[in-house]
Amino acid sequence: MDKNFLWGGATASYQCEGAWNVDEKQESMWDHYLHLQELENGDIASDHYHRYEEDIRMMKEGGQTSYRFSLSWPRIIKNREGEVNQKGLDFYHKIIDTCHKYDIEPFVTLYHWDLPQYWEETGGWLNLDVCQAFEHFSEVCFKEFSDKIKFWTTFNEPKWFIVNGYFIGNYPPGLQNVQKTMIAAYHVMYASALSVRAFRAGNYPGQIGVVHSYTPVNGVNDSIETKIAMRYADNYCNNWILDTAAKGEFPIDLVAKLSESYDVSFMEEEHLSIIKQNTVDFIGLNYYARTLVKPYTTGETQLIFNHTGKKGESKVVIKGWFEQVKDPNSEFTAWDTEIYPKGLEDGLIEAYERYQLPIFVTENGVGVREDVTVDCVNDDYRISFMNDHINAIMNAQDAGCDIRGYYTWSPFDLYSWKNGCEKRYGLVAVDFDNNQIRKPKKSYYWFKEIIESQAKLIQRKKYN
């Protein structure tokens, strides 16, 4: 492994900071939605706002060389007029300075889903003005932090928050509307390009990318029908983000297909030229699982996600396009996520061939229920999961891919959106019920050894 390869963990502001209304932070759409629905929320989460020093020190002591985290827009910008909250900026200076103190490379996400509620009230991502507001927020951050940051990303996982928020309706704003899903998706990709444009215009040092929830697509067989279903699935899952951010173009067959049934007049010439001219320097891929598909057979579109941790609840069918299927030979988590490291190797090779850009694996991890009252959680399953996925990255590197970092989700336990805090991903256990006590799990020590050996200790396997 190259000595500059970054090893670390990833978090998101809403999922770990807590302090949801402290130091003039404004309400985010997630604060609003979860309070209204009286669901488990991130009001306190891992209390990273107050414990960041301990958390970052533990990353260092665990051998990690980089920390991927997001900046909370409603902590930094107070209102629709764009007024800046100095206390919000001060908090992130402290995080970044602590990273540097411990020789940890900060890797920044500008948007990890916590839209200010004052913008959600105007229509959120359905409102074109929000794109300009995101550009302004980006500029504030670039100006303030650029001398301390080398790696920026605009959005975390456009597909995930847009599809869940506007199509399935299980995330805020809780809509189920295809036309609105298309508009919101388009606005997010436009906003991403505006942010890249601001980055280039300011001539800031470093690089800027986008982070995608990557689910490489496999088919159940080699038939023509399956290949067509795979293309639909790839457009739906991956291409509208990666093609658009990396090549500056929405997939033409996707736009043509959607225009048969929906209005695409929101795609304006001027936006498309901004998108074309402002592509990213690298791509960040979050990998949890692949998408295995067969041709569509019958029935209505169904998108059901498992937020309970009871196996067998999830289902994805897009009418006329494809059906997702489960490989009977695979292992699945309680939340129905397939464990399939080969998908990472294949996906990295495919993404590198297509885009020829440096890649960071910006998230990878496994969510499970764990008893954190013990002295040290014995998470051999996580060690095996990480071993096999790092192995997949090394196989892809052997095949010629330029992969520059690996971030586990997550360096410590945190709040998992609609799944609450019981779905744990951390290398460090956080006892949410007992003063937020932090205790390294077995995987934390294992990861340290892997990093220190520059992955020489990875038990290699061939998947292909």
Catalytic positions, written as ranges? 363
Q: Which is nearer to ligand BG6, 80 or 307 (CB)?
A: 307
User: Do residues 353 and 398 lie in contact, with contact meaning Cβ atoms separated by under 8 Å?
Assistant: no
156 in contact with ligand BG6 (CB under 6 A): yes
Identify residues 195-224 at the interface with ligand BG6 (CB under 6 A): 213
Q: Which stretch binds ligand BG6 (CB under 6 A): 135-143, 197-205, 415-423, 442-450?
A: 415-423
Query: Closest CB to ligand BG6 among 78 and 423?
Result: 423
Q: Which of 387, 416, 436, 443 binds ligand BG6 (CB under 6 A)?
A: 416
Work out which of 6, 12, 126, 188 binds ligand BG6, going by CB under 6 A.
12
Kindly state the smallest distance separating residue 307's Cβ from ligand BG6, in Å: 8
Q: How far is the CB of 9 from ligand BG6 (least distance, A)?
A: 12
DSSP for 297-348, written as a single string:
-SS--EEE---S--TT--EEEETTTEEE---TTSEE-TT--EE-HHHHHHHH
356-385 residues in contact with ligand BG6 (CB under 6 A) are 363, 367
Residue number, 27 or 363, with CB nearest to ligand BG6: 363
Q: Which helix (H) or strand (E) holds 284?
A: strand 282-287
Contact 154, 195 (CB under 8 A): yes
**Around 82, how many Cα atoms within 13 Å sit in the side-chain half-sphere?**
13
Q: Which is nearer to ligand BG6, 324 or 416 (CB)?
A: 416
User: Which residues ranging from 314 to 353 are in contact with ligand BG6 (CB under 6 A)?
Assistant: none
- Quick one: which segment of 84-92, 374-382, 389-397, 411-419 binds ligand BG6 (CB under 6 A)? 411-419
Q: Which residues contact 131 (CB under 8 A, 6 or more apart)?
A: 187, 190, 191, 194
Residues with Cβ within 8 Å of residue 38, at least 6 apart in sequence: none
- Asked if residue 370 lies in contact with residue 295, where contact means CB atoms within 8 angstroms, the answer is no
Q: Which is nearer to ligand BG6, 7 or 417 (CB)?
A: 417
Tell whether residue 157 is a contact of ligand BG6 (CB under 6 A).
yes
Q: Does 271 bind ligand BG6 (CB under 6 A)?
A: no
Report the candidate in 168, 448, 464, 124 with the shortest Cα–Cα distance to residue 307: 168
Distance of closest approach, residue 414 Cβ to ligand BG6, in angstroms: 8
Say whether residue 409 binds ligand BG6 (CB under 6 A). Answer: yes
Binding mask 14-33 for ligand BG6 (x = CB under 6 A): -x------------------
Q: How far is CA 7 from CA 28, 285, 362, in A?
A: 30, 14, 10
The reply on whether position 290 binds ligand BG6 by CB under 6 A is no
Q: Are the CB atoms for 25 and 418 separated by under 8 Å?
A: no
Q: Least distance from C-beta 239 to ligand BG6, angstroms? A: 18
Please report how close the Cβ of residue 410 comes to ligand BG6 at its closest, in angstroms: 8
Contacts of residue 421, Cβ cutoff 8 Å, sequence gap at least 6: 40, 45, 413, 414, 415, 432
Cα separation, 96 vs 67, in Å, equals 9
Task: Look up residue 314 and give its two tokens.
Answer: 């999830």
Rounded to whole angstroms, the Cα distance separating 133 from 363 reads 27
| Least CB distance to ligand BG6 at residue 345 (A) | 20
Closest approach, Cβ 11 to ligand BG6, in A, equals 8
Binding residues for ligand BG6, rule: CB under 6 A, are 12, 15, 156-157, 160, 213, 286, 363, 367, 409, 416-417, 419, 423
